[in-house]
Structure 1
Amino acid sequence: MRKFLYHSALALLVAASLSACAVGPDYQTPARVADISFSSPYQQAEQAQSWWQAFDDATLNQLISRALQENRTLAQARANVDRAWAVFRDANNDLLPKGTVDAGYQASENGTVSSLDDGVINRGYSGGANLSWDIDLFGKIRRATEAAEAQAQQADILWHDAQVQLISQVATSYGEYRGAQLRLVVAEQNLQNLQQSRAIVLARLEAGMASELELAQIDVQLHQVQAAVPAYRVALLTADATLSALLAQRPGTLKLGAVPHLPELKQPVAVVAGENYLRYRADVASSERVLAARTAQIGVATADLYPNLSVRGFLGFISGPGLTVGGETQSWSVAPTLSWQAADLGSVKARIRQAEASSQMALAQFEQQVFNAINEMQLSLNSYNLSREQQLSTELQWQASNKAVQIARQRYNAGSGEFLDLLDAERELLRSRDQLAQLQQQSFTRLVGIYRSFGGGIQLI
């Protein structure tokens, strides 16, 4: 036993002195984001959810909260995080010795061809611990562990990104639902206005002051609005089905209320000067972790240029027919093995070049992701601001159109106005009110786009 412990301690000491280096490049964060500390995915997720409280829309908050609990795609992303960290722990355990406890029994007859063994039955058993250790002389296992950790961190980041995308999808679908409701209400209001105008035309027709053509023309507009109503109902059903799927529910089970109100911010969106919003972008952080993993893989491949040392050992008992256990049956062994792929270095170097090329690809992808993120964030802000300008102008246009219809209807009813003026005013009112409803939905959707493009890190003032 003392000899086994002595030899084992000696082997551990030699291995520790030899495994002090790791080949391959040490990972350095790319210069473009070297000063950015990427936020914790858990902190980002909390901020992403609290951001929506600014809308003060209880229904929207409830939908988002429920989706984060029930959505199956998000559950899949969460399971992927658990799997990735389990892979990392498995890789990290490769740095430590491994061992098994075995016990075996063997019985045999005529164990040799000698006639002296005819009819001889041999029995015996062995029991003890088998140990093995692949000594990480040149850091192959450590580099593999680095790669596995980077991949686990990437999975964590992608899980956060899945939450951001889910919240964005729920909000967008909710906006589409409310937008369809709003356009449906607008259509019904327009129908009421047209029916009032038709009643005026019909009264004048019966009094001989209007023609059949005027009645037919007002009916054209009336039927045109009626024909658009089913499309709004289809849009409403589509949004309901999408929301139901995101919340893992059957369609038609959501109770969203009949009030067509699109959420609006009481405070404007603000970009904080000096804040680097790239740290909230999951795609940037994810591509940076991919680059870290690919860099570590270079070290894994490079380690094969050098010898690999492994140690195998046994400590236990081997007994014969008597099945006794004591000092006489004690057994141990230590067997260091040195292996080297000397005859296959060409393939090793090819794998190194593959790993280096993969690292260059990851670097290029990361750099492009940074440019994409910066432009997407700026575009989302500009698009929202322009949409708001367009919405405000259309609101003024609708107010003017509404006033024009009232004046044209009064004049026509009094016999001092032309029917074509009333018809044009009605047509413009229909168009401007429906366009306003569309722009209200568009502004909300583009506001969601800001949230998504800034990774949930945008602030309100």
Structure 2
Amino acid sequence: MVSGLKLTVIAALVASLSACAVGPDYQTPEAVDDISFNSPYQQAEQAQSWWLAFDDVVLNRLISHALMENRTLAQARANVDRAYAVFRNAEIDRLPGGSLDAGYQASENATLATNDNGVITRGYSTGARVSWDLDLFGKLRRASEAAEAQAQQADILWHDAQVQLISQVATSYGEYRGAQLRLVVAEQNLQNLQQSRSIVLARLEAGMASELEVAQIDAQLYQIHASVPVHRVALLTAEATLSALLAQQPGQLDLEAEPDLPALKKPVAVVDGENYLRYRADVASAERLLAARTAQIGVATADLYPNLSVNGFLGFVSGPGLTLGSETQSWSVAPTLSWQAADLGSVKARIRQAEASSQMALAQFEQQVFNALNEMQLSLNSYNLSREQQISSELQWEASNKAVQIARQRYDAGTGEFLELLDAERELLRSRDQLAQLQQQSFIRLVSIYRSFGGGIELI
């Protein structure tokens, strides 16, 4: 009865000690300079479908294919599996472990006794060996916490890899369509200049124009010709980038020839009071890293205290006859108490390293919050300014087009100067190409809004 009571008390003491864990308990930061972000990470529902608002069949197909085939995304997914395997292994380390063993041993002169001279002994052993680190001060528990936080970080980074991949595909698609559009504009400008050149040549034959006028319009033609290879290089670059993102070989990408850039039918909206930081995977990733670094302080601190482990054996030990029975049954229990008493200076140094790593992770997390807030605001401002530019450019192109028509009519009627027509056409070419650039820029900056808000921005 007394022995049973003692065993109960010892078991309760071991259990209570095992429930303790040295080192700081992690608490999620609630604010950085009055910036609240205590909402847990949440991937926005529209993060995996926001591009559908553009209603572009080709873009939809490209992104769907990239999500299935991109190797960087597959690598991030495998990293999640690896991280959770590490976490499960850390959890298992807190439980008793063991193995089933069967062995044979032969020896001669096993002792110093003279009776054993020349005697060969043989024997077999089979049974279960068990070992258990009781984790009195929570070293294994803190290691498990760190591994879990790192696994969660890997999962968050996988979601972030999807957002980044979608943004990269959409951006490259915009660059491809933009290069197409600028190429079409250049070809249209060449046609317009060729028509103007034909008029000048006709007037030259009639003695109403000079060689200077022909040379001037030829110079403008060559300038447009020189820009065509630039647009083709941009087209090839965007195509190569898309092929790589979709894990396709050169020349396999199937894109329709429509040069139109996707456009939203509804504007984007920022909801007042919405905590968009919770959609930012980089902020959530930095927070999980901070949690892991905090837990590792406990891992290092536990080495200041003794470690108790128990090893045991239950099985059979027999001679050459390999008989198994009650007479050959064997068991052993070997508790071991170890303490790094002679190495406490090194232990304290590791604790300081862990604490410094935690401070670094905290600073990184706080900086990531500021980076995220400013990036989100910058993306909104940049898009709004780009839209203002695009609207002004559209008005400029309309005015330039009207000016060319008036100048051409006056020139054809003989009441206008050729230089006026040439300048008007030059301005028309420039304004049309600028409009194409701004259309591409607006689309790419709109994609940047979705990326910087983690896909959490909505349409109204």
Class of the TM-score when normalised by the shorter of the 2 chains: over 0.9
Instruction: Tell which deviates more after alignment, 104-113 or 205-214.
Output: 104-113
Deviations 1:137-170 (A, max 9, x none): 0111111100000000100111111111111111
TM-score after normalising by structure 1: 0.95
Give the unaligned 5+ runs of structure 2.
none
Looking at structure 2, the residues matched to 8 and 448 of structure 1 have their Cα atoms a distance apart, in angstroms, of 66
Which amino acid letter does the alignment assign opposite residue 362 of structure 2?
Answer: L
Counterpart of 2:241? 242
Amino acid at match of 2:275: N
Match in the other structure for 1:353: 352
The secondary structure found in structure 2 opposite 1:102 is strand
Q: How do 1:113-132 residues align onto structure 2 when only pairs under 5 Å count?
A: 114=113, 116-132=115-131
Cα distance change on mapping 1:406 and 1:282 into 2, 3 Å: same
Q: Secondary structure of the equivalent of 1:324?
A: coil
Q: 1:176 to 1:296 in 2, by over 3 A?
A: same
Query: Structure 2: how far apart are the matches of 1:431 and 1:20?
Result: 74
Superposition pairs for residues 54-69 of structure 1, below 5 Å?
54-69=53-68
- Relative to 1, partners in 2 of residues 1:79 and 1:320: Cα closer, same or farther, differing over 3 Å? same
Aligned residue for 2:105? 106
Equivalent in the alignment of 1:52: 51
Query: Which amino acid letter does the alignment assign opposite residue 279 of structure 1?
Result: R
Give distance in 2, aligned partners of 1:11 and 1:186. Answer: 86
- Listed as ranges, the matches of 1:305-344 within 5 Å are 305-344=304-343
Answer yes or no: is the 8 Å Cα contact 2:41–2:281 preserved in 1.
Answer: no
Q: Give CA deviations for 1:265-324 in whole Å, capped at 9, x if unaligned.
A: 111010011101000111100000010001101111111111111111110011123321
* Contact 1:7-1:334 at 8 Å conserved across structures: no
Residue 109 of structure 1 deviates from its aligned partner by: 3.7
Aligned to 1:302: 301
Measured against aligned partners, the alpha-carbon deviations of 1:342-368 in whole angstroms (never above 9, x if no partner) come to: 222122111111111111111111111
- Per-residue CA deviation, residues 239-277 of structure 1 (Å, 9 max, x unaligned), is 111100010101221121111011111110100111010
Partner of 2:40: 38
What is the deviation of 1:223?
1.1
Separation in 2, partners of 1:264, 1:6: 78
Q: Report 1:22-421 matches (<5 A).
A: 22-32=21-31, 36-40=38-42, 43-44=43-44, 47-112=46-111, 114=113, 116-421=115-420
Cα deviation for residue 35 of structure 1 reads 5.4
CA distance in 2, matches of 1:413, 1:8: 113
State the distance in 2 between where 1:18 and 1:375 align.
47
Equivalent residue for 2:439? 440
Q: What is the deviation of 1:37?
A: 2.5
| CA–CA distance in structure 1, aligned partners of residues 379 and 97 of structure 2 | 54
1:111 CA drift (Å): 3.5
Tell me which amino acid in the other structure corresponds to 2:425. Answer: E
Asked whether the equivalents of residues 29 and 38 of structure 2 are also in contact (C-alpha less than 8 Å), the reply is: no
What displacement does 1:182 show?
0.1
4+ residue runs over 2 A deviation? 5-15, 33-40, 107-121
TM-superposition CA deviations, 1:53-81 (whole Å, max 9, x none): 10000110110110011111111111111
* Distance change in 2, residues 1:369/1:435 (3 Å): same
1:214-253 Cα distance to aligned partner (Å, 9 max, x none): 1111111011101111111111111111100010101221
User: Is the partner of 1:19 in helix, strand or coil?
Assistant: helix
Unaligned runs of 5+ in 1: none
Task: Please report the RMSD computed on the Cα atoms of aligned residues, expressed in angstroms.
Answer: 1.8
Contact 2:30 2:36 (8 Å CA) reproduced: yes
| Structure 2 residue matching 1:38: 3-state secondary structure | coil
On the 8 A contact 2:41/2:280 being kept in 1, the answer is no
Q: Distance in 1 between matches of 2:363 and 2:144?
A: 24
Under a length normalisation based on structure 2, what TM-score does the superposition of the two structures give? 0.95
Q: Aligned equivalents of 1:282 and 1:125: distance in 2?
A: 58
How far residue 19 of structure 1 moved from its aligned partner, in angstroms, is 1.3
The answer to which of 102-111 and 365-374 deviates more is: 102-111
String of CA shifts for 1:99-118, please: whole Å, max 9, x gaps.
Answer: 00000112234434555435
Counterparts in 2 of 1:220 and 1:283: CA distance versus 1, 3 Å: same
Deviation at 1:20, TM superposition (A): 2.2
Quote the Cα distance in structure 1 between the aligned partners of 2:248 and 2:228.
27
Q: Which amino acid aligns with 2:39?
A: S
- State the number of aligned residues: 454
